[in-house]
Amino acid sequence: MPSVALKLTQEQAQAQKPVLRVEDLHTYFEVRRMGFFKVGDVRALDGVSFELYPGETISIVGESGCGKSTLAKTILGIHQPTKGKIYFEDQDLSALNKEGWKQYRSNIGYIMQDPYGALPPFMSVKQILEEPMKINGIKDKKEHARRIRQVLEEVKLAPIEDFLPKFPHMLSGGQQQRLVIARAMILEPKMLIADEPVSMLDASVRIEILQLLQGLQRRHNLAIIYITHDLSTVRYFSERIFTMYGAKIIEKSSTKALLKEPLHPYTKALFEATSDPDAENLKTFKDVPAGEPPSLMNPPAGCRFHPRCKYKIKGLCDQEIPPEFQVYEDHSTACWLYKDKARA
């Protein structure tokens, strides 16, 4: 895609102050028996740290139940973190009062997986787009009209007048998702969280939506967290990729470095499992680990991937939790295989 060249390089992005800083974030959900006795915790997020810069996209890949949506929802304030801190432009979120939260939320746009489920069926396009402005105290009708016009133009729902009175069921899947994006953009946020924004859409529309997001990012210098299970889209869309497994980030890398050489055995397996359209695939079997992701109530000791890992080191991987090893400047992984290869 030609747009890639126009984007900020990672160094340029990081010269700025981070929009979002997440430190050692834990989100646990209590499990109760008979609604009363606590029997344990589901550790949906277990020690996640990273920084997100303006104009940058971080992709978070992993399978269902790895904690990627919990991460999004904890950042959005839908779930309360059990431990750890989130800073938005150096402001500690845990110190915010009600008004501060409202302010903060208006700075993040949220795009969810199922566009139809995300749009109230009884509201017209105009009402859907006015709602966030009403809630956030923008009362001027002229300003409403101006912003609605601007976002609809940006998401290419044209002619605008035709779309304003329509209801969500009158739009196609791709148009619905564009409306969701328009709604996320109407308060002019600094950051977008896109949770599987294209996985419900047809292949021919997916790229259109991703390119649309990319265009918005360029024009508004948006920071984007792109959550997906589909590795093949990330190369076209992000500067950095994090892999999550069992509620932890197990690999952090620039997109370029990861595509060249995935380090963690789990990321390698994800690569192996992704099929590019190629008739040669018919002739070979995929070398992927059997088994299931770990229970987050009783995660295995040591590395959470060790029961499925063919490279595991007995006595180490099954006992001690691997720390993050910085293998290359732009590439780190939490895997014991790299303990001797880490940079000082």
Partner 1 sequence: MSNNVLLDVRNLKLHFRTRSGPVQAVDGVSFQLRQGHTLAVVGESGCGKTSLAKAILRLLPRNVTEYSGSVIFDGEDIMKYDDEKFRREVRWSKIALVPQASMNSLNPVIRIEDQLMEPLLIHEDISKQEAAKRVRDAFGVVGLPLDFLGRYPFELSGGMRQRAAIAMALASNPKLVVLDEPSSALDLLTQANLMNVLKRIKHEYKTTFILITHDIGTASELADEIAVMYAGEMIEYASAEYFYTDAHHPYSRKLMASVPTLREDKELGFIPGQPPSLINPPTGCRFAERCEQRFAKCSTHPRVTKLENGATVQCWLYDEDETGEVKHA
Residues at the site binding partner 1, with contacts judged by CB under 8 A = 1, 63-64, 172-174, 202-208, 211, 229-233, 235-236, 259, 269-279, 281-282, 285-286, 288-290, 292-293
List phi, psi (to 5°) of 263.
-95, -55
Q: Residue 55 and residue 250: Cα distance in Å, rounded?
A: 24
Give 197's contacts (C-beta < 8 A, 6+ positions apart).
111, 112, 113, 177, 181, 209, 210, 213, 226
DSSP 94-136: GG--HHHHHHHHTTEEEE-S-HHHHS-TTS-HHHHHHHHHHHT
Contact 194, 216 (CB under 8 A): no
Q: How far is the CB of 172 from partner 1 (least distance, A)?
A: 6
Which C-beta is closer to partner 1: that of 95 or that of 203?
A: 203
Q: How far is the CB of 209 from partner 1 (least distance, A)?
A: 9
Q: How far is the CB of 270 from partner 1 (least distance, A)?
A: 6
Which C-beta is closer to partner 1: that of 35 or that of 277?
A: 277
Quick one: angle between helices 203-220 and 141-154, nearest 10?
A: 130
Instruction: Label residues 6-35 b or e (16+ Cβ within 10 Å = b).
Output: ebbebeebeeeebbbbbeebbbbeeeeeee
Which C-beta is closer to partner 1: that of 1 or that of 145?
A: 1
Q: How far is the CB of 162 from partner 1 (least distance, A)?
A: 15
Give 273's contacts (C-beta < 8 A, 6+ positions apart).
286, 288
Which C-beta is closer to partner 1: that of 200 or that of 313?
A: 200
Q: How far is the CB of 3 from partner 1 (least distance, A)?
A: 11
Which C-beta is closer to partner 1: that of 305 or that of 325?
A: 305
Q: How far is the CB of 137 from partner 1 (least distance, A)?
A: 38
Which C-beta is closer to partner 1: that of 34 or that of 203?
A: 203
